[in-house]
């Protein structure tokens, strides 16, 4: 009960909406009014921005002007933040002219001509066809809201997608499998034909102004935009008199055009403004978030699994405490007794348990980066829960985590230096340099290789050269010096004191049973932590690869806490068994035990790739696994460090309470 209340509290925190007293820059409401009354505080032009196009069938996004649509001067595009640039967003102005409260019917935009046999025309048409066959989706933005395409699903529900198809293809096979976007209109049925969506109906809902909300800016004929819905369609226009009520679709044969044949594509649009005062401006995102399939999943199933995990963890913790208590009581009793029996169990390895590991430098470096990733995730999630990183604030999540990662160089340097020093390391310069460059270098290297592929594909996902320079200068200009500062303080501090002395000569480790051998232990270690994150993982992957918005940060924060708990507990438990079996090589093993969760993450991503995505081409597959590897590596650092520090704390604790002569 208490648990349910607690989590619903976090949920509410996560779903908090901005109230009128507090707006982030760029997220304040925009007042609109009709042309006659427009002033500085209320605009009459409703600007439509277009974003890059993407699809579930490929990982490669393309800019709007990559396709042969009607374009306009793109020189004054909105400024994008680092996160948006890295995610491949390219927001550009469009030629659609919309005026507040002015209905438009079948307004022509531009005409594109294609003639058979002309090289340029063939190339343009080919790109359009490829886009339609892979089901590339438009992403339009009006008033900082996505323009949504709502269509009914089978179960009487409506799904509002934040993108809409540029067209569709009815495939030319004996058993024509009509694509989802073609199936919406029974007229799109001729096999081997593309239907290009050259007409859009925009339905703009607004909330009319009220004196209390607007203050001095109040206008009789004003309002705030609540939602913009689009219905795309394919219409074969008469070029002289475009008629948008025509039922005849624009058909483009899948085969190359016959010689002498021409196709004219006239793009048109209609706009309708409707008033609806029942929806508040502050809850205008709800209809999009509610239609996302997340809410379909019963909250209770997630909650139940969380409860089970917590229950299990509680049991583990209780068993450990009781067993340990008994052990310690027996050890200390034996010492006080006259007839000293032979030592047994984990106490036996007290002279070796703090013996420095092999490859201590690498371990210290990985732990430093792990700490960096840990605090980055924690702080980003906390911000996200408070609503700072809402979907309205595009790219903010990514920007926030990158900036945090750079700033958190200091704790990374400090932790790495202290651990390295406690291993008796003296090469402090290499330690700092490795901490600042090893893990970021792996991530950047992967990112750079993928960028080369995207460049080659002429994709909008390719980060411009200037952004690469910016990332490098953040890394070497800010993160590196901050790591040095942290390492300076880390090395200046006295070395970590261990509770027991280490013997000169290492003990022989007895033969281990199959359960206490390193590899089975490590493989088992990741199961429980993975078990409690995989439901969330599904939604996160959907938001990364299937255009769905992720907004359940409250839940994610909870899951993050549970991940910390389960990682720590499983590592401590396994660590205890290994010490009881007189195997004292715990440093690397504790890191790898919980770090193995990342391997399960990788397997899950492969499973997702095979079952959920319809990616066929090599470049997309390469990119998918590239991004996945970055994610898996960061997750490995995160979980590995959690396990290590939990185990480190535990071992220091238990050896400080037993008496050793
Ligand atoms: C625009 O069209 C809608 C729906 O047909 C109608 O309710 C509204 O009054 C129209 N607005 C204007 C300014 O004509
Ligand atoms: C306004 O929107 C609400 C919620 O979508 C709907 O139930 C209601 O019928 C709409 N009102 C008008 C006047 O269209």
Asked if pLDDT for residue 570 goes beyond 70, the answer is yes
Ligand nearest to the CA of 278: 2
pLDDT of residue 196: 93
Q: List the residue whose alpha carbon is closest to atom 10 of ligand 2.
A: 276
pLDDT tens digits, one per residue of 19-31:
333 344 446 788 8
Pocket of ligand 2 (CB under 6 A): 276, 278-279
Count of Cβ atoms closer than 10 Å to residue 422 Cβ: 18
The bound ligand whose nearest atom lies closest to the alpha carbon of 202 is 1
Q: Kindly give the residue spans of alpha helices, DSSP state H, lying in 96-202.
A: 119-133, 180-183
Question: Is the pLDDT assigned to residue 618 strictly greater than 60?
Answer: yes
| pLDDT of 623 higher than 80 | yes
Distance (angstroms) between ligand 1 centre and the Cα of 204 equals 10
Rounded distance, CA 120 to CA 127, Å?
Answer: 11
Q: Is the pLDDT of residue 260 over 90?
A: no
Length of the chain: 661
Ligand number, closest to the Cα atom of 290: 2
Contact 86, 463 (CB under 8 A): yes
pLDDT tens by residue, 441-495: 999 999 999 999 999 988 988 998 999 999 999 999 999 999 999 999 999 988 8
Q: Name the band, by pLDDT with cuts 50, 70 and 90, for residue 636.
A: very high
Ligand 1 centroid distance, CA of 531 (Å): 53
Closest CA to 209 of 450, 392, 34: 34
Q: Which ligand is nearest to the CA of 227?
A: 2
Segment 47-69 shows an average pLDDT of 92
Q: Lowest mean pLDDT: which of 370-384, 405-419, 579-593?
A: 579-593
* Ligand 1 atom nearest residue 103's Cα: 1
pLDDT mean over 280-285: 84
Decide: 549 and 555 in contact? Cβ < 8 Å: no
Higher pLDDT, 5 or 303: 303
Summarize pLDDT for 237-246 with one digit per residue, the tens. Answer: 888 888 888 8
For the ranges 157-166, 212-221, 413-422, which has the lowest average pLDDT?
Answer: 212-221
The model's confidence at residue 16, banded by pLDDT at 50, 70 and 90, is very low
Sequence-separated (6 or more) residues with CB below 8 Å from residue 647: 571, 572, 575, 586, 590
pLDDT in tens, 63-122: 999 999 999 988 888 888 888 888 888 999 999 999 988 999 999 999 999 998 888 999
Ligand nearest the Cα of residue 274 is 1
What's the gap in Å between 274 CA and the centre of ligand 1? 6
Rounded to whole angstroms, how far apart are CA atoms 144 and 51? 12
Residue 108 Cα to ligand 1 midpoint, Å, equals: 20
pLDDT band of residue 5 (cuts 50, 70, 90) is very low
- pLDDT tens for 312-351 read 778 778 877 888 888 888 877 776 655 455 667 787 888 8
pLDDT of residue 218: 67
Distance (Å) from CA 223 to ligand 1 centroid: 14
Q: How far apart are CA 537 and CA 612, in angstroms?
A: 13
pLDDT bucket at 301, cuts 50 / 70 / 90: low
41 and 438 Cβ atoms separated by less than 8 Å: no
- Residue 440 CB contacts under 8 Å (≥ 6 apart), including other chains: 369, 405, 475, 479
* Encoded tokens for 318: 């209780």
Residue 21's pLDDT is 33
**Token pair belonging to 25:** 């820059």
Using 50, 70 and 90 to split pLDDT, how confident is the model at 628?
A: very high
Comparing 18 with 437, the larger pLDDT belongs to 437
Residue from 228, 272, 276, 286 to probe ligand 2 pocket by mutation (most atoms less than 8 Å from CB): 276
**Nearest ligand 1 atom, CA 273:** 1
Distance from residue 276's CA to the centre of ligand 2 (Å): 6
How far is residue 57's CA from residue 614's CA, in Å, rounded to a whole number? 5
Q: 270, 274, 276: which to mutate for ligand 1, most atoms within 8 A of CB?
A: 274
CB 27 within 8 A of CB 392: yes
CB of 541 within 8 A of CB of 611? Answer: no
* Nearest-atom index, ligand 1, CA of 275: 7
Summarised one tens digit per residue, pLDDT across range 353-381 is 888 888 999 999 999 999 999 999 999 99
* Predicted pLDDT at 117: 84
pLDDT at residue 297 tops 80 = no
Closest ligand 1 atom to 102 CA: 13
**pLDDT at 599 (0 to 100):** 96
Atom of ligand 2 nearest to the CA of 274: 14
If one residue of 278, 283, 290 were mutated to test the ligand 2 pocket, choosing by the most ligand atoms within 8 A of its CB, it would be 278
Give the lowest-confidence range in 54-68, 540-554, 603-617. 540-554
Q: Which helix (H) or strand (E) holds 270?
A: strand 262-275
pLDDT at 8: 44
Label residue 512 exposed, middle or buried (CB < 10 Å: 0-12, 13-18, 19+): middle
Q: Is 274 in the pocket of ligand 1 (CB under 6 A)?
A: yes
Q: Predicted confidence band at 304 (pLDDT cuts at 50, 70, 90)?
A: low
Tokens of 398: 């990514």
Provide the 10 A C-beta neighbour count for residue 326.
Answer: 10
Question: What is the Å distance from ligand 2's center to 9 Cα?
Answer: 29
**pLDDT of 38 over the 80 cut:** no
β-partners of residue 158 are 152
pLDDT at 147 over 90: yes
Mean pLDDT of the chain: 85
């Amino acid at each position: 009960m208490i648990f349910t209340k607690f989590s619903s509290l976090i949920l509410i925190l996560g779903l908090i909406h901005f109230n009128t007293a507090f707006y982030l820059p760029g997220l304040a409401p925009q007042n609109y009014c009709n042309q006659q009354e427009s002033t500085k505080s209320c605009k009459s032009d409703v600007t439509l921005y277009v974003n890059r196009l993407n699809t579930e069938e490929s990982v490669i996004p393309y800019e709007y002007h990559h396709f042969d649509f009607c374009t306009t001067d793109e020189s004054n595009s909105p400024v994008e933040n680092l996160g948006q640039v890295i995610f491949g967003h390219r927001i550009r102005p469009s030629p659609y002219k919309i005026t507040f409260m002015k209905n438009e019917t079948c307004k022509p935009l531009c005409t594109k001509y294609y003639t058979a046999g002309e090289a340029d025309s063939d190339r343009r048409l080919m790109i359009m066809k490829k886009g339609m066959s892979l089901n590339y989706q438009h992403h339009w933005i009006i008033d900082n809201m996505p323009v949504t395409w709502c269509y009914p699903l089978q179960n009487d529900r409506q799904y509002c997608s934040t993108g809409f198809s540029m067209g569709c293809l009815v495939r030319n096979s004996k058993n024509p499998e009509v694509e989802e976007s073609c199936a919406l209109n029974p007229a799109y049925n001729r096999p081997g034909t593309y239907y290009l969506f050259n007409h859009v109906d925009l339905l703009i809902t607004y909330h009319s102004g009220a004196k209390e909300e607007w203050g001095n800016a109040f206008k009789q004929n004003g309002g705030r935009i609540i939602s913009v819905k689009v219905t795309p369609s394919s219409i074969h226009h008469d070029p002289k008199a475009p008629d948008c009520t025509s039922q005849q679709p624009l058909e483009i044969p899948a085969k190359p055009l016959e010689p002498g044949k021409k196709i004219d594509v006239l793009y048109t649009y209609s706009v309708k403004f409707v008033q609806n005062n029942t929806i508040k401006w502050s809850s205008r995102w709800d209809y999009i978030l509610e239609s996302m399939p997340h809410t379909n999943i019963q909250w209770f199933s997630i909650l139940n699994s969380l409860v089970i995990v917590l229950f299990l963890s509680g049991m583990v913790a209780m068993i450990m405490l009781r067993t340990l208590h008994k052990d310690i009581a027996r050890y200390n009793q034996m010492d006080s007794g006259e007839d000293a029996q032979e030592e047994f169990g984990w106490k036996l390895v007290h002279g070796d348990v703090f013996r420095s590991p092999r490859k201590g430098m690498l371990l210290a470096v990985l732990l430093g980066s792990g700490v960096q990733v840990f605090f980055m995730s924690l702080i980003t999630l906390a911000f996200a829960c408070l609503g700072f990183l809402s979907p309205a604030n595009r790219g903010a999540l990514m920007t926030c985590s990158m900036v945090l990662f750079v700033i958190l160089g200091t704790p990374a340097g400090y932790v790495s230096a202290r651990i390295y020093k406690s291993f008796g390391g003296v090469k402090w310069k290499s330690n700092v340099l490795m901490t600042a460059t090893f893990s970021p270098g792996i991530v950047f290297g992967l990112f750079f290789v993928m960028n080369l592929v995207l460049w080659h594909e002429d994709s909008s996902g390719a980060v411009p050269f200037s952004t690469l320079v910016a990332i490098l200068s953040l890394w070497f200009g800010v993160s590196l010096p901050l790591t040095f500062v942290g390492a300076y303080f880390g090395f200046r501090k006295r070395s970590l004191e261990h509770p027991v002395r280490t013997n000169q000569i290492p003990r022989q480790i007895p033969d281990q049973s199959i359960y206490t051998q390193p590899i089975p232990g490590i493989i088992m270690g990741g199961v429980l932590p993975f078990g409690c994150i995989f439901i969330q993982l599904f939604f996160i992957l959907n938001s990364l690869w299937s255009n769905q918005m992720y907004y359940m940060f409250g839940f994610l924060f909870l899951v993050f806490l549970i991940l910390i708990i389960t990682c720590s507990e499983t590592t401590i438990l396994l660590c205890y068994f290994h010490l009881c079996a007189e195997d004292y090589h715990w440093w690397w093993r504790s890191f790898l035990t919980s770090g193995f969760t990342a391997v399960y993450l990788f397997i899950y991503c492969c499973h997702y790739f095979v079952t959920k995505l319809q990616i066929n081409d090599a470049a997309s597959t390469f990119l998918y696994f590239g991004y996945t590897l970055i994610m898996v590596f960061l997750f490995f650092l995160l979980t590995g460090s959690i396990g290590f520090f939990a185990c480190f704390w535990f071992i220091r604790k238990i050896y400080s309470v037993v008496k050793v002569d």
